[in-house]
Amino acid sequence: MDVRAVNTFFSDAPANDEQGSGTWYDALTHTRDYLEPEINNVVATFDLKCKLDLKKIASSISNAEFNVNRNHGCVLRLADPKATMIIHRTGNVVCTGAADVSKCKRACVKCARLMKMLDYPIKGFRGFKVQNIVAKAHVGFRVNVDELFRVHFKFSEYEAEVFPGLIYRLQDPQVTVLIFSTGSVVIAGAKSVQAVNAAFRKMRDLLQAFQVTD
């Protein structure tokens, strides 16, 4: 387990974001006040139901790129709403980086319309499904992560000398939660906003028993 691997799992983004050193990791390792879950990435899939020429797409749209030697899909970066589409020859598309579910759907609609403008027989998009919602939050108090791991080791992964966050695998709802001693948490793997909120409430209740009191 390393920082880049954890970052990729939780955010589907490079270890360093567009703000350079201002990564989510930097923010989450600083103590802050109580914070309800804030969604910062939605990943969804859908199907355009037709075969696509990825080279044609990349050459026709300025913010699209395709390198046959480096990846299996055409990468289309949208500015409004901000999202990245990974388009496959089969018509399957992955949307990642959207700030919420509504913006994710808008990005998918925009992608479908762009494909239709390239004369593909698009009749909307089918099978839209949210695959992963990532949210950050803060429980409002510091957490004894070492004790948490000792008690809940069956559901946890923690290597303090490698990475300061504990990975907790919640069973209901089935999500993964990254917990820092500062009280910051990242929730990933949720399929709905309701699941994010339910997971946060359950984790905050659980972490009360491991609250650090000065």
- pLDDT tens for the chain, 214 residues: list them: 445 555 555 555 433 344 334 445 554 555 567 789 999 999 999 999 999 999 999 999 999 999 888 778 999 999 999 999 999 999 999 999 999 999 999 999 999 999 999 999 987 778 999 999 999 999 999 999 999 999 999 999 999 888 889 999 999 999 999 999 999 999 999 999 999 999 999 999 999 999 998 7
Q: What is the pTM of this model?
A: 0.84
- CB count in 10 Å sphere of residue 19: 9
pLDDT of amino acid 11: 52
From the number of C-beta atoms within 10 Å of its C-beta (0-12, 13-18, 19+), residue 129 rates as exposed
Residues 6+ positions from 85 with CB-CB distance below 8 Å: 75, 76, 77, 78, 93, 94, 95, 107, 108, 111
Nearest to 98 by CA among 107, 90, 88, 89: 107
According to DSSP, the residues that pair with 76 across neighbouring strands are 64, 85
Spatial distance between the Cα atoms of 208 and 7, rounded to a whole number of angstroms? 26
Strand order of the β-sheet with 166-170 is: 64-65, 74-79, 82-87, 92-98, 35-47, 126-138, 184-190, 175-179, 166-170, 156-157
Question: What residue type is 69 in one-letter code?
Answer: N
Name all domains of the chain by residue range, CATH numbers in brackets.
Answer: 3-41+133-210 (3.30.310.10), 49-124 (3.30.310.10)
Which H/E stretch holds residue 35? Answer: strand 35-47
The terminus-to-terminus CA distance of the chain in angstroms comes to: 31
Spatial distance between the Cα atoms of 134 and 89, rounded to a whole number of angstroms? 27
pLDDT of amino acid 17: 40
Nearest to 208 by CA among 151, 131, 164: 151
What torsion do the CA atoms of 16, 18, 19, 23 make, to the nearest 10 degrees? -30
